[in-house]
Amino acid sequence: MIAPLHPDDRLHTPAPARTLVTLDGLPGGRVAALVVGEITDTTAPPLRRSLLAALGSSSGGLDLDLSAVAFCDVAGLHLLLNLRAHALEKGRTLRVTAASPLVRQLLEATARWTPLTAIPASAAPSLLLTTELRRVLVRPGGASPVLRGAGGTLQVRIEGAAATVTWPAVPSGTPADGTGRRLARAAVASALHRAGLRTVRHRSAATTRARTALFVPPAAR
């Protein structure tokens, strides 16, 4: 058995794996993606499509933070190998910058840990960013309430020391609407400031009007 079975497959309904956050504008023309949820044969196909899109938008390759993946079986392994092959065909690379214990166990058991996790120093910026964002956007069981009902991906565009955060559309009247969204924006701005960015602007997927985050890091005051 390559990966452990879920404690109770009969009663368990998988939280669909999804690309929660993408970051582009990273050094070396790379894009980073933070994945949450459970990767199975039913949840892998839509995840593959979103990650292929992220890979296609890069010129250098894709960095994957899989530390918030709660479950991963052979379908997840096939997904990673497929993404890696696709990246190499395009002259790019795929690397796993962080992994949950289950993902690491799967990759080690199949001798894929080393080829997928050879992380050079240039990976540090993406790992720092996804780590800080994971702390404010991921909860036990998957995405935080502010993104749980969203149908898309939180997109972060890095330009020098500035970031533009595009929030996916969410249904009105949910925790992601109104006060919940405002608090989440402040938390994301704080996370990006901790990762070294000085200016953070927010916008929704439905509008192009950007708003500068009110939070200013102490060093800039």
| Residues 72 and 148 grouped into a single domain | no
Q: Same domain for 151 and 100? A: no
**SS3 call for 174:** coil
Which of 90, 121, 152 is the C-terminal boundary of a domain?
121
Task: Give 102-151 pLDDT, tens digit per residue.
Answer: 999 999 998 888 888 876 656 678 889 999 999 999 988 788 877 877 66
Residue 132 lies in a domain: no
- Cα→Cα distances 175→50, 65, 148, 150, Å: 24, 25, 9, 10
Cβ distance 33 to 21 under 8 Å? yes
Instruction: Check pLDDT > 90 for residue 220.
Output: no
Give domain status of residue 170, yes or no: yes
Do 160 and 201 have their domain in common?
yes
**Same structural domain, 25 and 106:** yes
Residue 60 CA, distance from chain mean position:
17
Residue 135 lies in a domain: no
The residue among 63 and 4 whose pLDDT is bigger is 63
The domain spanning residue 41 has which CATH number?
Answer: 3.30.750.24
pLDDT of the residue at 75: 94
Say what the pLDDT of residue 122 is: 62
Does 87 share its domain with 166?
A: no
Amino acid 6: pLDDT: 42
Contact at 8 Å (CB) between 137 and 143? yes
Place of tokens 């533009």: 164
Whether residue 128 is contained in a domain is answered as no
User: Is residue 81 located within the same domain as residue 182?
Assistant: no
My answer on whether 97 and 32 are in the same domain is yes
pTM greater than 0.85 (yes/no): no
Q: Per the domain annotation, does 211 fall within a domain?
A: yes
Residue 3 lies in a domain: yes
* Three-state helix/strand/coil letters over 101-123: HHHHHHHHHCCCHHHHCCCCHHH
Q: Please give the mean pLDDT across all residues of the chain.
A: 83
Say if residue 95 is in the same domain as residue 197: no
Q: Is residue 172 part of a domain?
A: yes
Q: What is the pLDDT of residue 209?
A: 41
Range of the domain at 155: 144-221
**Whole-number percent of the chain with pLDDT over 90:** 61
Counted domains in the chain: 2
Q: For residue 210, what pLDDT is reported?
A: 42
Last residue within a domain, chosen from 121, 152, 181: 121
Which residues contact residue 111 at a Cβ distance below 8 angstroms, ignoring those fewer than 6 apart?
none
Predicted confidence (pLDDT) at residue 175 exceeds the cutoff of 70: no
Q: Which secondary structure element, helix H or strand E, spans residue 164, and what is its range?
A: strand 162-167
**Pair (112, 201) in one structural domain:** no
- Is there a single domain that holds both residue 211 and residue 115? no
Q: Judge if 4 and 95 occupy the same domain.
A: yes
Domain boundary pick from 121, 153, 183: 121
Q: How far is CA 40 from CA 5, 19, 83, 125, in A?
A: 11, 14, 16, 29
Q: What tens digit of pLDDT does each residue of 201-219 get?
A: 999 876 444 444 444 454 5
- Per the structure block, which two tokens stand in for 107? 């990759």
Within this chain, do residues 13 and 117 fall inside the same structural domain, yes or no? yes
Is 19 part of a structural domain of the chain?
yes
Top mean pLDDT of 4-18, 94-108, 141-155 is at: 94-108
